[in-house]
């Protein structure tokens, strides 16, 4: 018996990195999972890797028509969403003075607008006691150079968790945030222009635990917040960062 047996989950941005690891873990715990992503090839590969109890729906969370189609598909197939992991996001860097309007709009459209409307459009499918998990980052609490726009989007997600916990209290829907630190994913490799070995060297002396994290370690936190193990946890931020933002 899995702790999520019979549950229906949605993972946005579930084709690679943390989203894929989370989807795999939710399926392993017994859930039936829908994943989204913008690139069909990556979605097909993710479905093959997960292997069972998973459906991929191609779409862009910043486009409301795509979200309408996503929710309609899940409504027809399963009728509800017990666990919603709003993971889809993009990261970019630019120092103050070099930030373009296009960059600002793109990052906010996906990270903030996309998260807000994913959750809002899914509300009719969320039963009492559902779990909503927002994927933020340590950058929402730190002041890393050249990350101001990306950091602001992740801080917004932390605020969403607080206000939505209040908005949804009558429905007993728990909203929480997971904030990873340096995790060895294609996204961080692309942002830093480093491979796995480079990331390991760069963060060895910067992270108290002396290493970068693995996507599976974020998936462990998601599994906890998705399940009844966290039945009295709401409106909080769970850092999974090896201590990077804590000391």
Active site amino acids: 150
DSSP class of 37: E
Residues contacting residue 95 through CB under 8 Å, at least 6 positions apart:
145, 146
For tokens 């873990």, the residue is 25
**Tokens found for residue 216:** 């599976």
DSSP helix/strand/coil, 199: helix
Strands 32-37 and 54-58: parallel
Cα-based distances in Å from 147 to 60, 90, 172, 220: 23, 12, 35, 27
Helix residue ranges, H only, 109-147: 114-122
């Amino acid at each position: 018996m899995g702790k999520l047996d019979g549950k229906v989950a949605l993972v946005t941005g579930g084709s690679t990195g943390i989203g894929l690891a989370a989807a795999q873990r939710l399926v392993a715990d017994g859930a039936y999972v829908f994943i989204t992503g913008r690139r069909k090839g990556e979605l097909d590969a993710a479905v093959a890797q997960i292997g069972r109890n998973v459906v991929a729906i191609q779409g862009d969370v910043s486009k409301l028509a795509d979200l309408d189609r996503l929710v309609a598909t899940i409504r027809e197939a399963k009728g509800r969403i017990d666990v919603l992991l709003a993971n889809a996001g993009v990261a970019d860097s630019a120092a103050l003075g070099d930030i373009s309007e296009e960059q600002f709009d793109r990052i906010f459209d996906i990270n903030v607008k996309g998260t807000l409307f994913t959750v809002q459009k899914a509300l009719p499918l969320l039963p009492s006691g559902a779990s909503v998990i927002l994927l933020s980052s340590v950058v929402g609490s730190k002041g890393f150079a050249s990350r101001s726009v990306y950091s602001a989007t992740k801080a917004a997600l932390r605020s969403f968790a607080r206000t939505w916990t209040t908005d949804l209290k009558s429905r007993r829907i728990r909203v929480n945030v997971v904030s990873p630190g340096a995790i060895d994913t294609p996204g961080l490799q692309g942002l830093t222009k480093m491979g796995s070995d480079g990331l390991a060297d760069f963060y060895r002396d910067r992270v108290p635990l002396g290493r970068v994290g693995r996507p599976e370690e974020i998936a462990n936190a998601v599994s906890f917040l998705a399940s009844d193990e966290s039945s009295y946890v709401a409106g909080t931020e769970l850092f999974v960062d090896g201590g990077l933002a804590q000391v």
